[in-house]
């Protein structure tokens, strides 16, 4: 039988002619990623190993993004641990204050990941890079430590679900709505340890930022990874951002899939995930009256320039509702600068929102927007578990930048169409 895109990449990196779902392999890695929370654990694990040198200083990326700038003494100590490690091992791709961005927006922007790569990261949303046609997946810090030393990782080859995307998304429907629709359909364990492989002519109607968003949340459906075919748009992105050679893999016609699901993008509506799971989705016409106290626009899911532009388009000439705190977080310094040059930050500030330095911050309940008991937040982030953004009695509603921005203006979960847009 033939192989899926993911299986082909894993076979090559394992030095095998073919692999099958369920097979255990050891694969070479093109990049090992860690952040300021997960890297210190990996660094301490490395100290227990006989070999305490890194396999390739150019193939390790350490991104200080979760609690940066440091929010407290503990986060400062964690970053110092990473900083000292990067210095002692001469790590090429170490990103700290002034250079850092949210890791899963930063690495593609810096050209560190390209099509055909095999990437692990000690962060569950490492699956983002499948938008470029790479195999990328999250691992634990112990696996990160082993990867930094050996340049290899063990994998069980995943089976796959094929999602055939057709049609063109309607107004105010984005990649976030696509992936929320999918998770609402199959559930948070619907793709458990499976590769989510996207295909179909509808892909041509999705921007790269849409594709990054969709792959980013593959893990929220339980997926091992998400992956898109490499088309001209993806090639143009990689040529613009990277000096690396890339390899395009295509699924075989006779590749096996556990399921094949067809989704008509033109039939989708703006979608919101209610507490406390990403699968608890409702379309915007089914939301009802849900008042909010906070809106967060940013994260590794939706902090890219398209996201910032859409939010600014909705908020231009309008004001954040009384009693609502609106926090906008461009995902990287380059995105921040681009938004500044385009006048987008001025729109947010005049509307009564604040603009933050790149950080994961509120997404994981770290800082820059913690919720009190009883508060509700509409957020472009990726998880809405109990206590995710603060108090266990707070609530997080997941949505697109367009819906989050409109909600910030109306004070309740709203579609931009309610503003006459």
Q: What is the pLDDT of residue 407?
A: 98
Domain count, the chain: 2
Residue that finishes a domain, picked among 263, 284, 309: 263
pLDDT confidence of 180, banded at 50, 70, 90? Answer: very high
Specify the CATH number for the domain of residue 15.
3.30.499.10
Strand partners for 38: none
Q: 99: closest CA among 332, 364, 400?
A: 332
Q: What is the pLDDT of residue 346?
A: 97
Q: 194: closest CA among 211, 230, 219, 228?
A: 219
The pLDDT of residue 406 is above 90: yes
Strand order in the sheet with 160-166: 225-227, 195-199, 160-166, 259-264
Q: Which residues contact 106 (CB under 8 A, 6 or more apart)?
A: 63, 65, 95, 100, 331, 332
Looking at the structure, tell me whether residues 318 and 225 fall in a common domain: no
Distance CA 219, CA 183 (A): 10
| Percentage above 90 pLDDT, the chain | 96
Distance CA 396, CA 70 (A): 24
Looking at the structure, tell me whether residues 114 and 159 fall in a common domain: yes
Looking at the structure, tell me whether residues 145 and 55 fall in a common domain: yes
Strand partners for 28: 152
Contact 412/324 with Cβ under 8 angstroms?
Answer: no
Structure confidence by residue, pLDDT tens digits, 385-403? 999 999 999 999 999 999 9
The pLDDT of residue 318 is above 90: yes
DSSP 266-330: GG---EEEPTT-TT-EEEGGG----B-SEEEEEHHHH-SHHHHHHHHHHHTT--PPTT-EEEEE-
Looking at the structure, tell me whether residues 287 and 411 fall in a common domain: yes
Looking at the structure, tell me whether residues 282 and 313 fall in a common domain: yes
Other beta carbons within 10 angstroms of residue 45's beta carbon come to 18
Looking at the structure, tell me whether residues 206 and 288 fall in a common domain: no
Average pLDDT over residues 82-96: 96
Strand partners for 138: 121
pLDDT confidence of 105, banded at 50, 70, 90? Answer: very high
Distance CA 212, CA 81 (A): 30
Contact 134/115 with Cβ under 8 angstroms?
Answer: yes
Q: What is the pLDDT of residue 1?
A: 79
The pLDDT of residue 154 is above 90: yes
Looking at the structure, tell me whether residues 113 and 259 fall in a common domain: yes
Structure confidence by residue, pLDDT tens digits, 297-307? 999 999 999 99
Looking at the structure, tell me whether residues 69 and 141 fall in a common domain: yes
Distance CA 391, CA 375 (A): 9
Q: Which residues contact 84 (CB under 8 A, 6 or more apart)?
A: none
Looking at the structure, tell me whether residues 259 and 276 fall in a common domain: no
Range of the domain at 293: 272-419
Structure confidence by residue, pLDDT tens digits, 187-221? 999 999 999 999 999 999 999 999 999 999 999 99
Structure confidence by residue, pLDDT tens digits, 129-147? 999 999 999 999 999 999 9
Residue that finishes a domain, picked among 229, 263, 297: 263
Distance CA 181, CA 121 (A): 26
DSSP 170-198: -TT--HHHHHHHHHHHH-TTTTTT-EEEE
The pLDDT of residue 50 is above 90: no
Strand partners for 108: none
Phi–psi pair at 379, nearest 5 degrees: -140, 145
- β-strand pairing of 294-298 with 376-379: parallel
Looking at the structure, tell me whether residues 38 and 170 fall in a common domain: yes
For the chain, the residue count is 421
Rg (CA), the chain: 20
Looking at the structure, tell me whether residues 133 and 32 fall in a common domain: yes
Looking at the structure, tell me whether residues 286 and 388 fall in a common domain: yes
Residue that finishes a domain, picked among 239, 263, 287: 263
Structure confidence by residue, pLDDT tens digits, 16-45? 999 999 999 999 999 999 999 999 999 999
Contact 129/49 with Cβ under 8 angstroms?
Answer: no
Contact 134/117 with Cβ under 8 angstroms?
Answer: yes
Distance CA 306, CA 16 (A): 40
């Amino acid at each position: 039988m033939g192989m899926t895109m993911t299986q082909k990449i894993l076979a090559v990196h394992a030095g095998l002619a073919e692999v099958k779902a369920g097979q255990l392999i050891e694969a070479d890695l093109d990049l090992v990623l860690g952040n300021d929370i997960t890297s210190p654990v990996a660094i301490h694990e490395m100290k227990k190993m006989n070999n305490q040198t890194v396999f390739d200083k150019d193939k390790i990326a350490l991104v200080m993004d979760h609690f940066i700038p440091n929010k407290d003494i503990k986060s400062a100590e964690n970053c110092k641990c990473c900083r000292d490690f990067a210095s002692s091992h001469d790590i090429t791709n170490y990103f700290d204050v002034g250079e850092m961005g949210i890791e899963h927006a930063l690495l593609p922007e810096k050209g560190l990941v390209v099509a055909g790569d095999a990437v692990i990261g000690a962060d569950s949303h490492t699956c983002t890079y499948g938008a470029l046609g790479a195999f990328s997946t999250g691992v634990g810090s112990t696996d990160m430590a082993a990867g930094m030393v050996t340049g290899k990782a063990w994998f069980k080859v995943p089976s796959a679900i094929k999602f055939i995307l057709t049609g063109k998304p309607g107004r105010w429907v984005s990649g976030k709505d696509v992936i929320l629709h999918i998770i609402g359909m199959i559930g948070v364990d619907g793709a458990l340890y499976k590769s989510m492989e996207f295909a179909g002519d509808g892909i041509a109607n999705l921007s790269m930022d849409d594709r990054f968003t969709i792959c980013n949340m593959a893990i929220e459906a339980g997926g091992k990874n998400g992956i898109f075919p490499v088309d001209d748009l993806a090639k143009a992105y990689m040529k613009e951002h990277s000096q690396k050679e890339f390899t395009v893999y295509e699924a075989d016609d006779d590749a096996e899939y556990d399921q094949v699901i067809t989704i008509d993008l033109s039939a989708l509506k703006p979608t919101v995930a209610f507490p406390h799971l990403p699968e608890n989705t409702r379309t915007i016409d089914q939301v009802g009256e849900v008042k909010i106290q906070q809106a967060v626009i940013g994260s590794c899911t939706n902090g890219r320039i398209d996201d910032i532009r859409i939010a600014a388009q909705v908020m231009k000439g309008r004001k954040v509702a009384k009693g609502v705190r609106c926090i906008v977080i461009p995902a990287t310094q380059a995105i921040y600068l681009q938004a500044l040059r385009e006048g987008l930050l001025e729109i947010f500030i005049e509307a009564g929102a604040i603009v933050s330095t790149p950080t994961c911050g509120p997404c994981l309940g770290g800082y820059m927007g913690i919720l009190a008991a009883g508060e509700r937040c509409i957020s472009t982030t990726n998880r809405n578990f109990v206590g995710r953004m603060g108090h266990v009695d707070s609530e997080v509603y997941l949505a697109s930048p367009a819906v989050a921005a409109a909600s910030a203006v109306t004070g309740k979960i709203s579609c931009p169409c309610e503003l006459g847009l």
